[in-house]
Amino acid sequence: MTPEPVRIAVGPKTSELLGRAITRAGATLAELDDARALVWDGGPAGFPQRLPVGIEWVQLFSAGVEEWFDTDVFERHPDIVFTSAAGAFARSVAEHALAMLLAGVRHLPEQLRARAWRQAEFFPRIGTLREATVAVIGTGGIGGELIDLLAPLGARVIAVNRSGRPISHSAVIETVPAQRLSEIWPRTDHVVVAAPATPDTRHLIGKNELSQLKPTSWVINIARGSLIDTDALVDALRDGTIGGAGLDVTEPEPLPDGHPLWDLPNAIVTPHDSNPPQLRTVAFAEHVADNVARFVAGRELNARIDVAAGY
């Protein structure tokens, strides 16, 4: 007897790309009331107040889910498994982080602004990632991809994760648990922030942390703006406490016109575009296809949200 196909709903509206991803993974599209799972291609606004009793799993579109914790969605559906898109966009975001770090270390922002030959001035300030120590805070999908990209450049990585579980990689010289984060600041040359936004990670980097870095250190944030104290960062950039900062995310966001970060020569600000739509939609469809195939086969789903941990 042929087993009944697994029915998956898509909301708030379907798309041909997601529909193909679901069917090629071995499931079939269905209306919400007849489905076992829901792929939600949107934010919290408009999410159903109540899901049908047959729904076992919900796939969310975003990798960062802090805005979902500002709602009562998880409390309303305690028996449903929720997964995020964590890891789906990792390569694109990791490439962006590396681009900003290299631009900073090679002193490109000010060189790009130059309108005269200033070789003698720039030479002493240009660095390299070869044998530099880079602290990667958060070793999930993005952090893991970034470590892969740093390895061929000869960088040495201090990996920081919540558990301290060792990261087995040729570039990783040490794995540090999050509770020992205070130990890394004087020991690293540069910092890349790739951790989730939770109450515990708010202003993870502030005045005290910045003061322990080197005057040549670059701080890169491709996670969420709330992880860095913006006022403290501006002061550190102005004072030369650190070499510079590359920010694809800011607090506040969008960064207002006239904000000091726009004018500081040692700041690179990009408008949260490390994961642009033309790359994001395809990557999300691939993530959905993989998780649907896992769901159909009864296997563990990728990027399951830990409600207690906050991500």
Cβ neighbours for 296, distance < 8 A, ≥ 6 positions apart: 6, 25, 26, 27
| CA 276 – CA 211 distance, rounded (Å) | 33
- The answer to whether 113 is a known catalytic residue is no
- 21-38 burial string, b = 16+ CB within 10 Å, else e? bbeebebebbebeebbbb
| CA 57 – CA 224 distance, rounded (Å) | 26
With 0-12 / 13-18 / 19 or more C-beta atoms within 10 angstroms meaning exposed / middle / buried, residue 66 is middle
Q: Which of 224, 251, 280, 287 is catalytic?
A: 224
Angle at the Cα of 168 from the Cα atoms of 61 and 311, rounded to 5 degrees:
25
- The answer to whether 253 is a known catalytic residue is yes
Q: Which of 253, 259, 294, 304 is catalytic?
A: 253
| CA 183 – CA 186 distance, rounded (Å) | 7
- The answer to whether 272 is a known catalytic residue is yes
Q: Which of 7, 77, 259, 272 is catalytic?
A: 272
Catalytic residue annotation: 224, 253, 272
